[in-house]
A and B are shown apart, each in its own frame.
Chain A
Amino acid sequence: MDTQTVARKALLFDSTRCIGCGACYSACKEKNKLPKTSVDFLRDHLSADTFTVVNRRNNRYVRRMCMHCNEPTCVSVCPVGALVKSAAGPVSYEASKCMGCRYCVQACPFNVPQYEWDDPITPRVRKCDMCRNRIAAGLATACATVCPTGATKFGNRDELIAEAEERIRANPTRYVTHVYGIDEVGGTSVLLLSDVPFASLGYSTDVLPQPLPHLTWNVLHKLPTVVSIGGVLMSGIWWITRRREDVKRAESESKSSRKGAD
C-alpha cells in the first residue's frame, strides 16, 4: 500500500472559512471512538481523548491537530519505531512497540502528542493519525468529510498547495501571503491559510525551516567514525605504553644482570 507511487495526501485548513461549528471536532471524536471531554468544544484542548480542537484565537476560529510533518521529529526520536510516517502522509503510532519514554511528546515542535498519564501500566501516546485507514480505503479524513464550509479540505498535497496559492493570488488583500506548512520544519501535510498573522492564531512562526531530525542526525551519523577511530587510537596507545614499559623493564633487567655478571 505505502509505495513511492502513492500521492502524498494533505489537509488544507483555511481559517477565513471556518465558522466554528465543531463538525470536525465531533467527527474526529466519532471516528476515533473518543469520549466527550468538554461542555463547550470551543474551550477544549488537545488531550489523550481529543485529537483535534477548534479554538477561538484573535477573533478567528482555528483548528489544531497533528501536522503530519514530511520529516517528522516524533518519528525520528522514537527509539523503537513506534511512530511511522507512511508514504501517503499520515504519521501513525503503534502502541505495542512503545516503551513510554515520551521523547515524541518532548520533541514535537507543535506540541501535539498527548499521553495517557492516568494509565499505570499500558499508557499510550495519543494523536491524530490523519484517518489512516480511511485514506487507505480511498476516503477523505473524517474532519474534511463533514466540514460544511470547506474550511478543511482533503486532497493531494501538491494540488492543495497549488489551490492555496491560487486562493492567495485571487484575494491578495485578504490573505497573509504565506501558506503555513509548505516549508515549516521541512513541510507538513497540514497546510494553513489565514488573514491574520499565524502567530496570533497560536501557530509558531519561529520553527526552523529545515526538518528538525537533521539536528540530531548531524551528530549521530558521526558515531561509527568516532567509535572506530577511538577504538583504534586507544588500542594503539595501550600497545605503545605497554611496549614502552616492557622495554624499560627489559632494559633494567639486562642492566641488573650485567651488574650481576660484573
Chain B
Amino acid sequence: MTRLSPGWPKVTFWRVILFIVLLAGAYSALLRFTKGLGTTTNLSAQFPWGVWIGFDVLCGVALAAGGFTISAVVYIFHIEKYHPIIRPTILTAFLGYSLVIVGLMFDLGRPYNVWHPLIMWNPHSVMFEVGWCVTLYTTVLMLEFSPLVLEKLPWKRPFKIVKSITIPLVILGVLLSTMHQSSLGTLYLIVPHKLHPLWYSPLLPVFFFVSAIALGCAMTIFESYLSLRAFRKQLDFHLLTKLGAVAAVTLSVYLVVRITDMQSRGVLSQAFAPTYEGRMFLAEMLLGVIAPIVMLFIPRIRHNQFGLFVSALMVVLGFVMNRMNVSLTGMDRSSVSQGGAHYFPSWNELAITASIVGAGFLLFGLAVKYLDVFPPEDMKEIAAGKRAQLPALAAFRAPLWSATTGAFVMCVLFMGASVALAYDGIRRREPAIHLSEGSGTVDLSRGLAELKMPGAIAIKMGPDSPGQCFFSHARHVNSKDPNCSACHAGLFRMLPTTPDITADKKMRNCGVCHDGVKAVGILQKERCDSCHLKS
C-alpha cells in the first residue's frame, strides 16, 4: 500500500481490479456505440437477449427485493425492530434499478427512445409494463432514498415534504415491485416453444416474485457482512439471523411449488436426464435452493456470522443461476434448432456487466462513507470492537470439521460446479441441427406443368437501331430448371408493369452476357440479325 500523493486514494488489490474492469468496460462501451451490437456482443436473431438482459436486468431488478420487503415490514406492518435495515436495503434497491437502466442503455438498439413506452402505449406488452415499472419505481426509490441526502443539506423543507409522503410511497413501491418482479417472469410466458420445459411454466411470474423475496433477505445479509468487513459497519446480527430464517421459509415454499408444478406438467424426469439443461437445473436447485434451506434451518450455521453469510451467498448465487438458466441455458436449445450458435457472452458483454457491478460496489461504498446508511449507534459499537474479534476471522481459525468450514466448502463447490457445468455444456453440445436438404433431386414436374413465362418483350429502340429487338424468356430460360435469379433483380427489374428493358453499347443489361464470348456480342456488326428484326 503506497501513497501516490496526498489526497490520492490508496492503491489496493481491489481498487486495481476495479480500475482494470472499468477500463475494459469503457473500451467495450465505446465499441458498442461505434460498431454496434453485432461487433460487441454474441447476440443473433436466434439469440436476441443475452447476459445484459439475463444478468443486468433480471438480477439487477431483484436487488430491489430487499427494499420493498423490508419497507413493507416496517412501515405497513409496523414491525419497528427492522427499521435499521431499511436504509441499506433502499440504497441497494436504488442502485439496482439505476444499474438496470444503465445496462439497458447498452442493450437497447435505440437507447435514446427508451422513454417511448411512456407516451406510445401498448398495454398488451409485458415490456410496456416493465418499462413503466422501471420508471415509476426508480422515481419512488429516488424519493425513498432522498432523505439520506436531504438530511445532509441545510434546507429542511424538501426533507419534510418527502418524509410526509413516506407511507404512500412505500405502498406504491411495494405494489410496483410486486408487479415488476413478477412481470420479468411474465416476459418469458410468450416463448413456450423456445424456453426449455424445466424452466417454462405458467407460474413463472409467481416463481420470479417469490424467489425475489428470498433474495431480498439474502442480499441484506450479504451486504451487511461486506460492510462489516469493509467499513466496520453492520446491522444487529440478531435481525440478520431472523432474515435468514425468513429466506429459508420463503425458499422452501418456492421449492415445493416448483417441484409440484413440474410434477403436474410431467417434466420432473427431465431434471435427471443426462442433458446440459438437466445438469444445470440440478445444480441450480441442489446448490442454490436446497442446500441453503438446509443450512439456514440448522441453528448452528444460521447463528454463526460466517455460516449465515455463506448461506446468504448461496441463495444469491442460486438466484443468479436461476435467472441465467431461464434467459440463457433454457433458450440455448431453441437457438441451436434454428441453426443458430450456442450463445456465450463475448468478453465485451462481460466487461460491461462487470463494470456495472463494479460501479455498484463503488457507489455503495461511497454512500456508506458519506451518508448515514447504517444507524450511527451500531457504527460506534463496532468501531469500538477490536479487529481480532471479527467473527469472519474467527471462522478461519475454526477447526476443520466446523459447520462454517462446511459452509465455505459448499459455497466453493457451488461456484465451481456451475462454471464447470456451463463450460462443459457449451463445449460438448452436438453441433447445430440443420434441417436436411435431402439427397435426391427435387421433382419439378408439377411446378413445370404450371410454368407460365412472360411472352416476348419488346426492347426499346435507339435512334440508330438496325431494327426492333424482342426478348424471349422461352429462348433464354432452361425450361427444365429455370433460375430467375440469374438475371433478375441484378440485371433486369421484374416488377414494372410495363417492361423497361434497354440495351446499350455500354455492355450493361443484355451486354453482360451478349459480350461476344458467352453469347453473340451486341457490338458484333456482322451478327446484328441474330437479335434485330430486319425492317
Query: Which residues of A are at the interface with B, using a C-beta cutoff of 8 A?
Result: 16-23, 25-27, 29-31, 36, 41, 45-47, 55-61, 73, 76-82, 97-103, 105-107, 109, 111, 113-123, 142, 145-146, 148-151, 200, 202, 204, 206-208, 212-213, 215-217, 219-220, 223, 226-227, 230-231, 234-235, 237-238, 241-242, 244-245
Specify which of A231, A237, A238 lies most central, judged by the most chain B CB atoms within 10 Å of its CB: A238
Query: Closest chain A residue to B41 by CB distance?
Result: A117
Query: Closest chain B residue to A228 by CB distance?
Result: B175
Complex contact B488–A23 (CB within 8 A): yes
Q: 5 closest Cβ contacts across the A-B interface?
A: A100-B109, A117-B38, A22-B485, A59-B438, A26-B489
> Count the B residues whose beta carbon is within 8 Å of the partner chain — how many?
87
Specify which of B76, B179, B338, B485 lies most central, judged by the most chain A CB atoms within 10 Å of its CB: B485
Report Cα–Cα, A226/B483, bound state, in Å: 60
Contact A238/B167 with A59-B441, A120-B35, A149-B448 known, Cβ cut-off 8 Å: yes
Complex contact A77–B32 (CB within 8 A): no
Complex contact A58–B45 (CB within 8 A): no
Task: Point out the residue from B113, B202, B495 that lies within 8 Å of A98, measured CB to CB.
Answer: B113
Complex contact A237–B488 (CB within 8 A): no
Complex contact B441–A17 (CB within 8 A): no
State whether the Cβ of B379 lies closer than 8 Å to any Cβ in chain A.
no
Chain B residues 263 to 319 lying within 8 A of chain A, measured CB to CB, are none
| Sample of 4 more A-B contacts, CB < 8 Å, known A79-B125, A81-B121 | A30-B495, A59-B437, A215-B190, A238-B167
Report Cα–Cα, A180/B126, bound state, in Å: 29
A-B pairs under 8 A by CB, number: 264
Report Cα–Cα, A213/B190, bound state, in Å: 7
State whether the Cβ of B257 lies closer than 8 Å to any Cβ in chain A.
no
B78 partner residues in chain A, CB cutoff 8 A: 238, 241-242, 244-245
A79, chain B: closest CB distance, angstroms: 4
Complex contact B338–A115 (CB within 8 A): no
Report Cα–Cα, A100/B108, bound state, in Å: 5
A206, chain B: closest CB distance, angstroms: 7
State whether the Cβ of B193 lies closer than 8 Å to any Cβ in chain A.
yes
Which of B81-89, B127-135, B242-250, B365-373 is the contact stretch?
A: B127-135
Complex contact A123–B36 (CB within 8 A): yes
Report Cα–Cα, A113/B109, bound state, in Å: 14
Task: Point out the residue from B45, B127, B450 that lies within 8 Å of A17, measured CB to CB.
Answer: B450
Complex contact B37–A30 (CB within 8 A): no
B189 partner residues in chain A, CB cutoff 8 A: 215-216, 219
Report Cα–Cα, A148/B455, bound state, in Å: 12
- Can you list 29 A-B contacts with CB-CB less than 8 angstroms, sorted by A residue number? A22-B483, A22-B488, A23-B485, A25-B485, A26-B489, A30-B488, A41-B485, A56-B438, A58-B435, A59-B437, A60-B438, A78-B125, A79-B125, A80-B122, A81-B120, A97-B113, A97-B120, A98-B109, A101-B107, A120-B34, A120-B37, A146-B488, A151-B450, A204-B193, A216-B190, A219-B182, A237-B77, A242-B78, A244-B78
Query: Which residues of B are at the interface with A, using a C-beta cutoff of 8 A?
Result: 32-39, 43-46, 48-49, 72, 75-78, 107-111, 113-114, 116-117, 120-131, 167, 171, 174-175, 178-179, 182, 186-187, 189-194, 202, 205, 338-339, 435-444, 446-448, 450-453, 481-485, 488-490, 493-495
Task: Point out the residue from A107, A116, A241 that lies within 8 Å of B190, measured CB to CB.
Answer: A107
Task: Point out the residue from B36, B43, B446 that lies within 8 Å of A119, measured CB to CB.
Answer: B36
A115 partner residues in chain B, CB cutoff 8 A: 37, 45, 48, 109
Complex contact B447–A16 (CB within 8 A): yes
Report Cα–Cα, A107/B39, bound state, in Å: 23
Report Cα–Cα, A227/B116, bound state, in Å: 23
Task: Point out the residue from B174, B436, B494 that lies within 8 Å of A57, measured CB to CB.
Answer: B436
A235 partner residues in chain B, CB cutoff 8 A: 171
Query: Closest chain B residue to A54 by CB distance?
Result: B485
Task: Point out the residue from B128, B193, B482 that lies within 8 Å of A109, measured CB to CB.
Answer: B193
